[in-house]
């Protein structure tokens, strides 16, 4: 299913009604994606978006290797589709921080949550876009973990890229003595971690990394939640998700009684207590893939 197009054909714009300030996309990105706008003033100083891929039948993860051993190549629901990777890169490139749960880090332990890692062909465009936005070269990678993670993984050892590990007091205790990269910080959120706490810790870390002469207290932040379903569910349950970008990969993954195959949201029952409707604000196609964008908050 992997298609290689060099350069990528532009996304076909089926619907575009996102309002706000257009990101200053360099020509190759503007040609590829078309306009990308976000609201000017985010309530609470942060606009929280998420980006996921799911199969046609709504499978977003194969998260139980013991009961559901799926070979690595097939577990990639997007089949590394180049347009999906370009969109992932684009959203990372406009984001101040990319937030993921420890389950996702354990699934892809060598991953780095930068635009250049996921779509290296556009490396110079990502750099130009971040410079035009006045943002540092790489977004802050935020890992949320209750129990603690392997701090020898690349995301915690990069010399140049900033990372934040939001964990519990017990998770922080287990880190005693760990050697972390020079730009890695640990935030102890206490006994448990709410999505609100993870978001606030992220905003505080971003403020702390701003150079004093470039700090702008009025500037709102764009935060990208890249999963997984459990962490995203927590954000949605706390009413903190503003937008969902959703790639539909043209395959049926299936489920049976033996293996959980989570959709976008895991660990939260939204209906009936919290019915959550969204407004479709953009739709694009590339090949047989569909790229949807939903607004959750009015
Ligand atoms: N389709 C997609 O686009 C997509 C995107 C991302 C990931 N995935 C897939 O999703 C799977 C992983 O997702 P997952 O749902 O199992 O894990 P996850 O959401 O990535 O991470 C869950 C972990 O986050 C930590 N956490 C701390 N506080 C939390 C809170 N309040 N709410 C939720 N999590 C909290 C916990 O870590 P501790 O265990 O350390 O306590 C928890 O186990 C992988 O298979 C991955 O490939 C798919």
Distance in Å, CA 102 to ligand 1 centroid:
5
Q: Provide the pLDDT confidence category of residue 148 given band limits of 50, 70 and 90.
A: confident
Mutate to test the pocket of ligand 1, among 55, 57, 60, 104 (most ligand atoms within 8 A of CB): 104
Domain hosting residue 88, numbered range? 12-35+48-63+76-212+220-254+279-295
How far is it, in rounded angstroms, from Cα 142 to Cα 123? 21
Residue 125 domain flag:
yes
Mutate to test the pocket of ligand 1, among 78, 144, 264, 265 (most ligand atoms within 8 A of CB): 144
Output phi, psi for 61, to 5 deg. Answer: -155, 145
Strand partners, 188: 167
pLDDT digits (tens, 9 = 90+) for 54-85: 999 999 999 888 888 898 888 899 999 999 99
What average pLDDT score do residues 159-178 get? 92
Residue 40 domain flag:
no
Residue 225 domain flag:
yes
pLDDT digits (tens, 9 = 90+) for 225-242: 999 999 999 999 999 999
| CA separation, residue 138 to residues 90, 129, 199, 264 (Å) | 12, 11, 18, 26
Residue 266 domain flag:
no
Q: Is the pTM of this model over 0.85?
A: yes
| Lowest-confidence region among 59-68, 103-112, 212-221, 270-279 | 212-221
Residue 3 domain flag:
no
Mutate to test the pocket of ligand 1, among 113, 229, 238, 251 (most ligand atoms within 8 A of CB): 229
Q: Provide the pLDDT confidence category of residue 199 given band limits of 50, 70 and 90.
A: very high
Q: Report residue 11 as tokens.
A: 């996304």
What's the gap between Cα 233 and its chain centre? 13
Dihedral angle at the C-alpha atoms of 69, 72, 78, 81, nearest 10 degrees?
-160
What average pLDDT score do residues 285-296 get? 98
**pLDDT greater than 60 at residue 213:** no
Residue 69 domain flag:
no
Task: Report the mean per-residue pLDDT for the chain.
Answer: 93
Residue 189 domain flag:
yes
Distance in Å, CA 7 to ligand 1 centroid:
33
Question: How many C-beta atoms lie closer than 10 Å to residue 280's C-beta?
Answer: 13
**pLDDT greater than 50 at residue 2:** no
Distance in Å, CA 50 to ligand 1 centroid:
13
Q: Provide the pLDDT confidence category of residue 154 given band limits of 50, 70 and 90.
A: very high
The CATH number covering residue 99 comes to 3.40.430.10
pLDDT digits (tens, 9 = 90+) for 74-132: 889 999 999 999 999 999 999 999 999 999 999 999 999 999 999 999 999 999 999 99
**pLDDT greater than 60 at residue 1:** no
**pLDDT greater than 80 at residue 4:** no
The residue among 215, 213, 172 whose CA lies nearest residue 191 is 172
- Asked if residue 284 lies in contact with residue 12, where contact means CB atoms within 8 angstroms, the answer is yes
Distance in Å, CA 215 to ligand 1 centroid:
32
**pLDDT greater than 70 at residue 212:** no
The residue among 202, 169, 171 whose CA lies nearest residue 95 is 202
Domain count, the chain: 1
Residue 272 domain flag:
no
């Amino acid at each position: 299913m992997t298609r290689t197009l060099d350069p990528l054909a532009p996304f076909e714009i089926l619907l575009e009604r996102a309002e706000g300030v257009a990101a200053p996309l360099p020509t190759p990105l503007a040609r590829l994606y078309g306009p990308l706008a976000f609201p000017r003033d985010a309530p609470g100083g942060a606009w929280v978006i998420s980006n996921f891929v799911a199969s046609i039948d709504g499978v977003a993860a194969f998260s139980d290797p013991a009961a559901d051993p799926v070979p690595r190549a097939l577990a990639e629901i997007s089949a590394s589709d180049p347009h999906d990777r370009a969109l992932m890169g684009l959203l990372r490139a406009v984001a101040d921080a990319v937030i993921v749960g420890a389950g996702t880090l354990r699934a892809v332990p060598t991953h780095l949550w930068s635009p250049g890692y996921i779509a290296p062909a556009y490396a110079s465009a990502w750099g130009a876009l971040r410079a035009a936005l006045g943002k540092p070269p790489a977004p802050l990678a935020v890992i949320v973990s209750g129990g603690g993670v392997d701090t020898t993984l690349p995301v915690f050892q990069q010399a140049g890229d900033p990372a934040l590990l939001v964990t519990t007091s017990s998770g922080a205790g287990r880190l005693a003595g760990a050697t972390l990269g020079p730009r890695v910080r640990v935030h102890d959120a206490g006994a448990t971690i709410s999505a609100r706490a993870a978001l606030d810790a992220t905003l505080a870390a971003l403020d702390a990394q701003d150079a004093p002469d470039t700090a702008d207290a009025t500037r709102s932040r764009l935060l990208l939640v890249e999963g997984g379903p459990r962490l995203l569910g927590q954000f949605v349950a706390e009413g903190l998700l503003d937008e969902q970008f959703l790639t539909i990969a043209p395959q049926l993954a299936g489920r049976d009684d033996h293996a959980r195959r989570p959709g976008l949201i895991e660990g939260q029952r939204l209906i009936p207590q919290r019915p959550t409707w969204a407004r479709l604000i953009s739709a694009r196609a590339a090949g047989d893939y569909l790229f949807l964008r939903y607004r959750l908050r009015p």
